[in-house]
Amino acid sequence: MNPQNNFKAIEFFSGIGGLHYGLQNASPLSSIVQSFDMNELANSVYHHNFKKKPNNRAIDHLKINEIEKYNAQVWLMSPPCQPFTRGGKYLDDLDPRTRPLIHLIDMLQKLEYKPIYIFLENVLNFEKSKTREILVKTLNELGYTIQEYLLSPVQLGVPNDRLRYYLLAKKSISNSESHKRKTSYLELNADEYLIKQFPESSKNFSNNLLLNLFGFTPQNNQLYKLEKFIDTKLDYEKFKVPMAYIKKRKNYDFDIVNTNSKHSSTFTKAYGSKHILGSGSLLQTETSNVDDKDLQKLVIQENVENEETIKLIESFKLRFFSPQEVAKLMCFPVKENNNENKSFVNLEFPTNTTIRQQHQLLGNSVNVLVVSTLIYHLLNDL
């Protein structure tokens, strides 16, 4: 890493600080000069860990001088994903929750001192959105080099699927030349502009980060087993899945994993609640008397309402992943990792934050290993 990388960064839509952790890993000498988020619960967690409270002012009300005064070379952004999801009705740029990002895009054109580097994370489908079109068109006109990715932490050996869209942009020195070279970029279709592999130059960085975080690195591109992320001494009763939640489902359509599994589903903000479908994996804590045939029976079962199926599911002793375990799978530095790197600011939740709130906040966050790797690539190799 270039030792001169001591940039000033602004973190928009900061949440619990996933992108702050990413910058901390990728460029230890760089600093967040200001973060912005309206969620006071997320802000309390951010303040608890980084000792800085984000500005809770609405981003779409910010004025140019309020941004320019920081003279930040880096913008980090993880805007609301709901406008680009089925739950948000795919309203895209018409959704009020997109206004802050549109405002930043508009402001970018008017700033006298523009950021050199821009990083944005969002959900799958953002790459097809009108908002993405507006963003890329603006960046292209302003002379930025652009790279867009669809990536998941499973590609780095972490057994948690979290496929997300990432945009990296770097300001070129010569606007006019850059513009001439890249006008054709806007004409590319998604298959041509989307990169689906991590940059080769960042592999050593991501492996070293895994070693610092967890004390191990992937072997021959193999996925880790979940056992490396699970606390086997956890109180089952505290995190068990109520059978009432299971019985509400007419079909067997949820994801059950155990410590030997090498995968887990994306954890969303609904995880840990009665909405068990599509919100994340459930952990099977009793495996001694259960074999693969039992699981196969469930998969082909038309419903989970009969007594035999209910008994079988009960025998699994299903529980939710704890917030600590979810945080580890999302590659946040947590205290129990016992990493020796004292520069890490560990993720901790204030004692008055409930388990449900912790799951919600994590579900709205990012995978720190992925964003760290891409921010490293952006600042060093783009």
Q: Residue 67, class by beta-carbon neighbours within 10 Å (0-12 exposed, 13-18 middle, 19+ buried)?
A: buried
Residue carrying structure tokens 């995880």 = 271
Cα–Cα dist 154/161, whole Å:
6
Instruction: Find the catalytic residue in 77, 81, 213, 318.
Output: 81
Q: Is 368 helix (H, G, I), strand (E, B) or coil?
A: helix
**How far, in Å, CA of 24 to CA of 343, rounded?**
9
Query: Residue 81 catalytic?
Result: yes
d(CA 98, CA 100): 6
Rounded Cα distance between 234 and 288, Å, is 18
**Could you give the residue ranges of the DSSP H alpha helices within 158-281?**
175-182, 190-193, 203-214, 236-239, 243-247
* Single-letter amino acid, residue 150: L
Q: Quick check: 298 and 310 in contact, CB under 8 A?
A: no
Whole-number Å distance between alpha carbons of 38 and 233: 36
The residue whose two tokens read 């490293």 is 376
Question: Catalytic positions, please?
Answer: 81
